[in-house]
A and B are shown apart, each in its own frame.
Chain A
Amino acid sequence: MKKIVIKLNGETRYTHVEPNDTLLDILRDNLGATSVKSGCERGDCGACAVLLQGESVRSCLIFAVEADGQAVETIEGMSKDRKMSDLQTAFHEKNAFQCGFCAPGTIISTVELLKENPQPEKAEIQEAIAGNLCRCTGYSTIIDTVKEFSEKK
């Protein structure tokens, strides 16, 4: 067991990890960030996407020890003053989710996209979320929501 430190949504958190624990394992089991979902454990589905040092990664493909000393952001950290972020609210208003299981990962990918490219074209949105599998929505509402949201900003 090794003690590591992670800045999770702005808060310094310490935890003990095994060498083969993934970042996904410890976010869910040790640090209570259950919005980070496990869907395939091999990097295919994107349900476990988080921001590591500001860049989206699949937390199932990263060992926890690799994240030692780094900042991790999940959607648990997006609400401010007891209100969801504008992006989350846009997803709600436009029904850009159904079962909700892939939504956290998709929102993480969207946050990263809009940071780098505040006015993305449709194809750029499709590319940015192509690593987040959704079986419910057929993606159209998600793409439209992100497009509309970015145009309003």
Chain B
Amino acid sequence: MKKEYTNIGKSALRIDGKEKLSGAAIYTDDIDFGPNLLYAEIVESPYAHAIIKNIDYSEALKVPEVITVVTGKDFPYQFGLYMKDRHIFPQKKVRFVGEQVAAVVARCPKVARRAAKLVKVEYEELEAVISQIDAAEDKPKTIVHEDLGNYWHVPWFFPRANTNIAHWRKIRKGEPDKAFKGAAYILDDTYNVPRYSHCPIEIHVAVGKYDLSGRLTIWASSQSPHTQRHVFAEALAPLGLKHGNIRVIAPHVGGGFGAKAGVTMEILAAAIATKVPGNPVKVLWTREREFYNTYQRLGVQARLKIGVDKTGKILALHHELLWDAGAYVEYGANVVNAVGLSAIGPYKIDNVSIDSVCIYTNLPPGGAYRGFGYSEFLFGLESHMTRIAKHLGLDPIAIRRVNAIKEGDTTAYGAKMNPNGLHKAIEAVEKEIDWYGKHTTNNPNKVIGKGFSLLWKAPAMPPNASSACFLKFNEDASINLLVSGMDIGQGYLTVMAQIAGEILGVPTSKIRSENPDTDRNPYEWQTVASHITWSSGNAVKKAAIDARNQIFDLIVRTKYLPKDELYLEDEKVKCHTNPNFELALKDFVVDGIQTKDGTYKGGPILGKGTFLPEFSTTKSNPETGQGGHPNVHYTVGAAAMIMEIDKNTGKIKILKAVEAIDCGKAINPDLVNGQIVGGLVQGLATVLYEDMRYSEKGKLLNPNFTDYKIPTAKDIPDVIVPIIVEVPQPDGPFGARGMGEHTMLPAAPMVANAVEDALGVRITSMPITAEKVIMTMIKEGKYKD
């Protein structure tokens, strides 16, 4: 008989809830760093592209309480995650508006801000390249990185020296040219997706302290403490700093969404601290800077050509994606890579060509953003699928059923698709939204539209991205779980506690886990890629099994019971073959077990577990992308919505949205539902409200919440129904796989499809604002006054 789970699949209360709701939770900027605290204020470039001729900070140094001013001359060091294309401060030229060229360090933030205005920087303005289409030319007028050919990068990137092309991911599978010739219908069109900003409510902040013994500690609002330590160690190696000398402490995080992955402004706290030994130095961004000097979601222009037969079966796909990756692509190039591998969407397609091209521009650096490129390409792909269905007279769901990928089908790069519940998700959404029902409105000014979209996404990670866990028991059989993933709001720590509790027969509420300190907690790559439940969960499960083994071994040694018959339940060890035996964990997990001669056996129970996906490899043919196993698995899902549009104003109101995701196993269903609802609203925001506007000179015009509108409580669908599908992931903890980012993915194409359903106009660029709806109707002669 299969044992019922005690902790898994239960909506356990979040273990960080009381802290966050009582006011106890300490975020980075809440820490008291004492009377020696210094503040750094940066001097920003007003130009998108300019040579730095001279920096004169003599006037700033004269201001009382200014300690020092630092510039690129102080730190001629490169850094970057997947490609070292950045310096801590730019060396010869600036590459985007707002880039830091110097920092003033003072005892008081107001003094630092005032003194920063006294720094005189002499520039020679260069022509900036703002459009990635201009930048992508073979012999571009403007080259953003003259040294591109010399930068270190991961082996799966293919930069082209003397151009702005930082990486070009190619996929070639089957014979697309031949297959297109046999197609009954080909749809070929171009889609545009602008840049977006993450907008965590907590602004980036980092504090660095280089103490008098030579140890460097950084407190940061971070998704990536260990990766940050690694990047700091690499960048500051010339100063004699190594991993062992650097410690990153990550308190609570007020939202991440990819913005706090990798390293952006945190490098300033680490570097500047080395110039003021003994004094902690705080670098606190403003909301404006949060918009233009962290990462942004990359913009893309995607040309998509799909050929189908009469039944709607896809015969061939060509996807050409030109990415506006910004001034530095040390993280963003991997977004481009991830999309190159996966831009077929969740479909079985035998003939494929994909070109995903990472292009430097003089806009702020592009980087990780929830969805990691998939939202962007799915806008075109899922718009295309509905358009093709319409042309063939098929139902939009029917055409997806014909093509939806199944377990064992080959992906674009030749590996096999993992077990998945895509068809189940389609069915669940179809039913919940009442897809074939009649949806009407009584208001003559309004029309109803319905939209559908599939989604898929894989974690984008290096093949050796690993997780680890230490687990220690306390005297009362409570547990401290030491892991280094980050609870950025998704509920990661609670889920890890549920996994450990399940194995050890301990309630989730008795397990304590906190965000990490790299000196004390074991390694974790980063909290990105929606891999953390899967990867860290596997490490936690192994640590708990290790602890359980130690417990059982001790019982065998002291009680002479058969190990195979022992089990843990209700915080006790029990034995199947000896129902009279039970021993409370609290009686021995620290103190050991006393034997007849008065001696003790055992001692504190300490479990450890590590996980690395040993089957993953990025080794493949650079011209075809075939041969490797770069993605560990895909998570899939489906979504649909019913909207009401005002024919006169174009204003959209979403009456109902449904999203089903196959997370393998929902370890905490409430938290999964929370991700679906929150992520879907964030996705809807990118299509309905948000839009980064730049001047011709590359200056962001709307870096605040007044002009860059994120949704309020009034801007959400009337009803959102999250649906959990569970087709287990064979190598996941209790069958779980990630789903946090996926929740955003179907929002934009679903809206575009519903708008066309309602009004008969197809919009191929995001966002789809009321204004754009009406302008498109006017242009196509469909607007009636």
Task: Give the contact stretch, choosing among B97-105, B548-556, B589-597, B703-711.
Answer: B703-711
Residue pair A39, B713 in contact (C-beta under 8 Å): no
- How far apart sit A127 and B30, CA to CA, in the bound complex (Å)? 29
Contact in complex: A101, B713 (CB < 8 Å): no
Q: Which of B3-24 contact A (CB under 8 A)?
A: 11, 13-14, 16-23
Closest residue of chain B to A47 (Cβ to Cβ) is B201
Binds A, one of B41-49, B355-363, B436-444, B486-494: B486-494
Complex alpha-carbon distance, A131 and B705, angstroms? 11
Would you call the interface of chain B mostly helix, strand, loop, or mixed? loop
Question: Judging by beta carbons under 8 Å apart, are B680 and A138 in contact?
Answer: yes
Closest Cβ of chain B: how far from A41's Cβ, in Å?
A: 7
- Does A117 sit at the interface, judged by CB under 8 A? no
| Assembled-state Cα–Cα distance A101/B17 (Å) | 12
- Chain A residues within an 8 Å CB radius of B14: 92, 95
Contact call B713/A126, Cβ cutoff below 8 A:
yes
Q: Closest residue of chain B to A28, judged by CB?
A: B30
Q: How near does chain A come to B330, taking the closest CB pair, in angstroms? A: 25
Contact B713 A125 (CB under 8 A): yes
Within 8 A of A (CB), among B110-139: 110
Task: Point out the residues of chain B lying under 8 angstroms from A28, CB to CB.
Answer: 30
Interface string of A51-92 (1 = CB under 8 A from B): 000000000000000000000001110110000100011011
Q: Give CA–CA (A104, B23) in the complex, Å.
A: 7
Within the complex, which residue of A79, A92, A101, A137 is in contact with B677, where a contact is CB–CB below 8 Å? A137
The answer to whether B701 has its CB under 8 Å from any CB of chain A is no
Q: Is A2 an interface residue (CB 8 A)?
A: no
Q: Are B705 and A40 in contact (CB under 8 A)?
A: yes
Which of B251-259, B268-276, B414-422 contacts the other chain? B251-259
A96, chain B: closest CB distance, angstroms: 9
A5 close to B (CB within 8 Å)? no
CB of B668, distance to nearest CB on chain A (Å): 9
Please provide the chain B residues from 725 to 765 with a CB less than 8 Å away from any CB of chain A in the complex.
none
> Cβ of A40 and Cβ of B287 under 8 Å apart?
yes
Give which listed residue, A74, A130, A139, A143, contacts B23 with CB less than 8 A.
A74
Q: Which residues does chain B contribute within 8 Å of A41, judged by CB atoms?
A: 286-287
The answer on a CB contact under 8 Å between B203 and A99 is no
Q: How far is the CA of A39 from the CA of B255 in the complex (A)?
A: 11
Shortest CB distance B384–A (Å):
27
- Cβ 8 A contact of A142, one of B16, B25, B490, B713: B713
User: Chain B: interface residue count, which band?
Assistant: 35 or more
A30 to chain B, nearest CB (A): 11
Residues of A within 8 A of B110 (CB): 20
A98-B491 contact, Cβ under 8 Å, with A135-B201, A139-B716: yes
Report which of B23, B198, B254, B671 forms a contact with A34, defined as CB distance below 8 A: B23
Contact B255 A101 (CB under 8 A): yes
Q: Which of B13, B30, B252, B706 is the one whose CB lies under 8 Å from A92?
A: B13
Q: How far is the CB of B462 from chain A (nearest CB, A)?
A: 26
Q: Are B13 and A134 in contact (CB under 8 A)?
A: no
Task: Chain B residues near A12: list those with CB within 8 A.
Answer: none
Task: Please encode chain B, from 30 to 50, with 1 for each CB lying within 8 Å of some chain A CB and 0 for all others.
Answer: 100000000000000000000
Nearest-CB residue, chain B, relative to A131: B712
CA of A42 to CA of B200 in the docked complex: distance in angstroms?
16
Cβ-based interface call for B26 (8 A): yes
Which chain B residues lie closer than 8 Å to A92 at the CB level? 13-14, 17-18, 21
A134 B23 Cβ-Cβ under 8 A: no
Across-interface contacts of B714 in A (CB, < 8 A): 126-127, 130
A111–B253 Cα distance when bound, in Å, is 25
Find out whether the CB atom of B678 lies under 8 angstroms from the CB atom of A98. Answer: yes
Distance A102 CA – B21 CA, assembled complex (angstroms): 10
A103 within 8 A of B: yes
- Chain B residues, CB < 8 A from A49: none
A39 in complex: contacting residue of B16, B17, B202, B680, CB < 8 Å: B202
A23 within 8 A of B: no
Which B residues are CB-close (under 8 A) to A143? 713
CA distance A133 to B689 in the complex (A): 14
Contact status of A133 and B712, CB under 8 A, knowing A42-B287, A99-B254: yes
User: By the criterion CB–CB under 8 Å, are B202 and A103 in contact?
Assistant: no
| Complex interface: chain B residues within 8 A of A97 (CB) | 17, 20-21
Question: CA of A32 to CA of B705 in the docked complex: distance in angstroms?
Answer: 27
Q: Which of B16, B30, B257, B489 is the most central at the interface, judged by chain A CB atoms within 10 Å of its CB?
A: B489
A74-B23, A99-B202 given as contacts; is B681 within 8 A of A139 (CB)?
yes
User: Is residue B670 contacting chain A, with contact meaning CB distance below 8 A?
Assistant: yes
Please determine whether B22 and A38 come into contact, CB atoms closer than 8 angstroms: no
CB neighbours (8 Å) of A98 from chain B are 255, 489-491, 674, 678
- A to B CB contacts below 8 Å, 23 in the list: A35-B25, A37-B27, A38-B203, A42-B287, A44-B705, A89-B21, A92-B14, A97-B20, A98-B489, A99-B200, A99-B201, A99-B256, A99-B488, A100-B16, A100-B489, A127-B714, A129-B713, A131-B712, A134-B713, A135-B199, A135-B678, A138-B716, A140-B720
Contacts A37-B201, A104-B23 aside, 6 further interface pairs with beta carbons under 8 A come to: A41-B287, A75-B23, A139-B711, A139-B712, A140-B716, A142-B713
A-B pairs, 8 with minimum CB distance: A101-B254, A100-B20, A99-B489, A138-B681, A98-B489, A35-B23, A44-B705, A34-B30
